[in-house]
């Protein structure tokens, strides 16, 4: 059954346009609250948000929705997405909510839901919530309306948790780190955690005004971080996205390091120490073939999942793996967290820098990626991938790349885009195949 409101990462869209309106936020609160009213205990939801201007509106609407069906609300303010997952578990809540559109600009917002175990909801849960959204849940009598309160130490709790994932025998003394928080949810917690571990911290993207989240900064725009790392003579740069569940790193020479390289580093480090479970890493179909070859050469497998960190996590839980993620920087380490956590992943990278004493440019270059090209084609409606011309272009490309590369064409789960990716040993052929398919999609 197709979901109507939920995409690959919750509900997301342009604020004040369907489905991302205050009315919808209230209905989601009512539906999700009613869905998780199980048992006779006092029910509780933890709500966090990033720094978007619309976060206040969405938060207020969701509070009214949850309380109207009898659920108490705990507001934790601007915190990273993984902090909401962690706090929902530690506070024995029935549900966790993060109001964020992740790496999207401020004009967008979104709603991510976590169950009492701290994991994102299953497709089945989301379908049941969608049904409740459409038919409307039962509201409680006045005496049973929920209460709302704010806790002030949520950020401190998360900082303490993040630091606990860094090896006790190490510190960051003597290390200079530039951290870019994307003017988003980690603007306070990430610099504080690094400083408390002993680092000299240079912070950028830490002046949110409601409109500048992800604007020319963060993991999707690392140019400012690259420049600052070189100017400061820093050992490494760390870039998070708006809700801090994504990590991109910059080495001391200003070169960007993506999630594939970081997964290779963490997985092989854990394998050497006997910590890697399942003998493999879970990545998506978008991860570079070079990662797969490098891991296999070192005795570690690669399991591929559909695009989306939720699908990576599902595969990790199914196979008992503890390292997984996406090339874009969502890195999931289930020994520590139930969702992607940019700061926790960064601390694993920093621990390896301290342990080896190697410069970041040497340590983080784990393998030579194969030439890979990704292009997006926006479409206005319909099913362009069902068009015969598009199917023929894809079949032709697959035939030409057979044995020499990979082709991945998919519809985005969050935007009206067709994503066309090819990789192979011949960069000219890769570009030709991508352009050929993109033109077919445009024509369709």
Number of helices followed by number of strands (H, E) in the chain: 14, 18
CATH of 11-152, one of 3.10.150.10, 3.90.1200.10, 3.40.120.10, 3.40.50.11890: 3.40.120.10
What is the torsion angle, in degrees rounded to the nearest 10, for the CA atoms of residue 152, residue 79, residue 414 and residue 372? Answer: 180
- What's residue 137's pLDDT? 86
Cα–Cα distance for residue pair 394/408, rounded to 1 Å: 9
Q: Are 288 and 422 spatial neighbours (Cβ–Cβ below 8 Å)?
A: no
What are the boundaries of each domain within the chain? 11-152, 157-255, 259-363, 372-443
Regarding the domain delimited by 372-443, which CATH topology (the fold level of the hierarchy) does it fall under? TATA-Binding Protein (3.30.310)
Q: Same CATH fold, 157-255 and 11-152?
A: yes
Can you say how many angstroms the Cα of residue 338 is from the centroid of all Cα atoms in its chain? Answer: 12
- What's residue 402's pLDDT? 77
Give me the active site residues, please: 102
pTM score:
0.91
Which positions of the chain have pLDDT values less than 70?
Answer: 1-2, 414
What is the torsion angle, in degrees rounded to the nearest 10, for the CA atoms of residue 430, residue 434, residue 435 and residue 436? Answer: 100
- What's residue 3's pLDDT? 76
- What's residue 2's pLDDT? 67
- What's residue 405's pLDDT? 83
CATH superfamily name and code, 259-363:
Alpha-D-Glucose-1,6-Bisphosphate, subunit A, domain 3 (3.40.120.10)
How many angstroms separate the first and last alpha carbons of the chain? Answer: 26
Strands 72-78 and 256-257: unpaired
Regarding the domain delimited by 157-255, which CATH topology (the fold level of the hierarchy) does it fall under? Alpha-D-Glucose-1,6-Bisphosphate; Chain A, domain 3 (3.40.120)
């Amino acid at each position: 059954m197709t979901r109507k409101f939920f995409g690959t990462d919750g509900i997301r869209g342009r604020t004040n346009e369907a489905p991302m309106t205050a009315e919808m936020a209230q209905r989601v609160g009512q539906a999700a609250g009613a869905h998780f009213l199980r048992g006779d205990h006092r029910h509780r939801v933890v709500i966090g948000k990033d720094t978007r201007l619309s976060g206040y509106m969405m938060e207020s609407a969701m509070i009214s929705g949850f309380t109207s069906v009898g659920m108490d609300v705990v507001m934790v303010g601007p915190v990273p997405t993984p902090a909401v997952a962690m706090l929902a578990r530690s506070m024995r809540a029935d549900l966790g909510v993060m109001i964020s559109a992740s790496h999207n600009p401020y004009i967008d917002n979104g709603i991510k839901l976590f169950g009492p175990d701290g994991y994102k909801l299953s497709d089945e849960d989301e379908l049941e919530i969608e049904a409740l959204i459409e038919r409307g849940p039962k509201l409680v009598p006045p005496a049973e309306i929920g209460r709302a309160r704010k806790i002030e130490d949520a950020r401190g709790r998360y900082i303490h948790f993040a630091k606990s994932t860094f090896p006790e025998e190490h510190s960051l003394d003597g290390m200079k780190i530039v951290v870019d928080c994307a003017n988003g949810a980690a603007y306070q917690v990430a610099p504080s955690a690094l400083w408390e571990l002993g680092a000299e911290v240079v912070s950028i993207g830490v002046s949110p005004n409601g409109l500048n989240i992800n604007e020319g900064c963060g993991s999707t725009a690392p140019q400012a971080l690259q420049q600052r790392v070189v100017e400061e003579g820093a050992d490494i740069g760390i870039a998070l996205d708006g809700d801090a569940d994504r990590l991109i790193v910059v080495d001391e020479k200003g070169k960007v390091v993506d999630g594939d390289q970081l997964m290779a580093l963490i997985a092989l480090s854990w394998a050497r120490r006997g910590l890697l479970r399942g003998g493999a890493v879970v990545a998506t179909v978008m991860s570079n073939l070079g990662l797969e070859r490098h891991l296999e050469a070192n005795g570690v497998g690669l399991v591929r999942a559909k695009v989306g960190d939720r699908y990576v996590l599902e595969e990790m839980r199914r196979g008992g793996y503890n390292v997984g993620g996406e090339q874009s920087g969502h890195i999931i380490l289930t020994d520590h967290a139930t969702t992607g956590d940019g700061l926790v992943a960064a601390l694993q990278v920093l621990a390896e820098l301290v342990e080896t004493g190697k410069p970041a440019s040497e340590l983080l270059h784990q393998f030579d990626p194969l030439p890979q090209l990704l292009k997006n084609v926006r479409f206005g409606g319909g099913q362009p991938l069902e068009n015969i011309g598009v199917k023929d272009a894809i079949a032709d490309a697959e035939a030409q790349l057979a044995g020499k590369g990979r082709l991945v064409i998919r519809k985005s789960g969050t935007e009206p885009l067709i994503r066309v990716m090819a990789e192979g040993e011949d960069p000219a052929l890769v570009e030709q195949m991508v352009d050929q398919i993109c033109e077919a999609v445009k024509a369709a």
